[in-house]
Chains A and B, each alone.
Chain A
């Protein structure tokens, strides 16, 4: 699974390799390449972190609903891509080609097997 991470702008934040955001065209092209290679399983693009709402449930079973991710978190999840490849190096190759890698960071994580 490729987790596509974006960086929030602000002082003292780590800087992405390029500023700005990947265009829809770049992502479309990437999607197409994944499908053509037969490795695409699933993908999703998330709305802005500003539109996020968080839920926690405490010991008493009460809901705590808050807006957004915590202010101090400097990165946010922008989207994900599930691919089916034989090993880490193949996954890293695809992660490096992801448009998100230029403007943020792509985290590669194996899906746990049940």
Chain B
């Protein structure tokens, strides 16, 4: 760890890194998140007091876990009501683990998956799922999460408290679901992680730089998941997709804060090491079973990321991948993206026909993407007035300043005569 001369920093570094593991371990052991949080905080305090004098232990997590566990057991012994209220059964259910000798060198199990499945349990609403995941697995403070989701800290605190209460009261177990349930439950976990990612990604270019942390946190969480479930195609696919998408971050917004479309991005700014890792993971994900829409989305992102320009993109391949994606998840958004791919592959006339066929999908026409795609196809067909109108409509529906700036500029460009 850090140099022994600096007292608090190594403790903080360890704690930030290991907080999720420590909490997960304690929650799985005692079945009580409140207790887990409190004794984890106490163990940290003890570390701040002890480590500067005795040096950072060789296995800091084991030290923290042992200290926290002792404190929890002390509390349970002292507090008879706590003992009865606690799922004592839960702690007793695994006698092998209870009998484990508590030493600094024991093998520390990684219980984060259990905690993640509890935080993303379908009995909790999406707000609680994302909040609890960021709080307990990513180790963000309540204030940081509140800032990231642009809600007052008190609101976020209430969400977290309610979620934690429900885990406690309805006894949501800290357990990886059995094979029957795993597929459905894992989708929920991945959905939560993806939502954290898109929440942060959409905000790129906002003055709110903190929100970009969500992108990093989502990737970190997915990496943890991938390490714990290496054979799971959906996890591999999601990690690949996030890396391949985030690799374009430096080129997504120009110096004036305007969004830059994929076709106009300066591809030399893209992060090549992320693209390499993402492409490698995509190949791995596509060879794993069952086939997952995350893997196909990653494959599409990989085709884009490996193309030297928009024109030199293998649009036939992109289009085929969208066909496959549509077969797996036939949603309007996938249909829209397929229409865009067709517009590049077969030409704007064919693409426009596909786009017009989606005009009866209110979920698409209420958002700017469909209008922007129409504008793009119309512009390529030199139907400038209609293109300007479509871009104007898109700019009205766009949410972020960067997108509004981009779409308004397009509308103005085609509205101008000549």
Contacts and interface: CB of A to CB of B under 8 A. Distances in A.
B90 A88 contact: no
Nearest to B181: A89
Contact of A88 (B85, B89, B93, B170): B170
A110 B67 CA distance: 33
Chain A interface size range? under 10
B170 A108 contact: yes
Majority-rule SS of B interface residues: loop
Interface in B158-195: 169-173, 175, 177, 181
A87 B173 CA distance: 6
B110 to A, nearest CB: 21
A110 B169 contact: yes
A87 B172 contact: yes
18 contacts: A86-B87, A86-B93, A86-B171, A86-B173, A87-B171, A87-B172, A87-B173, A87-B175, A88-B123, A88-B171, A88-B172, A88-B173, A89-B177, A90-B173, A109-B170, A110-B169, A110-B170, A113-B85
Contacts of A89: 172-173, 175, 177, 181
B25 to A, nearest CB: 18
Interface string A70-114: 000000000000000011111000000000000000001110010
- Quick one: which of A89, A90, A109 has the most chain B CB within 10 A? A89
A38 B138 CA distance: 40
Contacts of A113: 85
Contacts of B123: 88
B234 interface: no
- Closest 6 A/B residue pairs (Cβ): A87-B173, A87-B171, A88-B170, A88-B172, A88-B171, A110-B170
Interface in A2-48: none
A104 B90 CA distance: 32
Interface of A: 86-90, 108-110, 113
Chain B interface size range? 10 to 19
Contacts, number: 28
Interface in B101-115: none
A19 B90 CA distance: 40
A108 B172 CA distance: 12
B121 interface: yes
Contacts of A87: 171-173, 175
Nearest to A109: B170
A50 to B, nearest CB: 32
Nearest to B85: A113
Contacts of B87: 86
Nearest to A90: B173
Given A86-B89, A88-B172, A113-B85, 8 more contacts: A86-B93, A87-B173, A88-B170, A89-B172, A89-B177, A90-B173, A109-B170, A110-B170
B167 to A, nearest CB: 9
Nearest to A85: B171
Contacts of B90: 86
A108 B166 CA distance: 12
A87 B89 CA distance: 11
Interface in B74-130: 85, 87, 89-90, 93, 121, 123
A90 B173 CA distance: 9
A113 B175 CA distance: 24
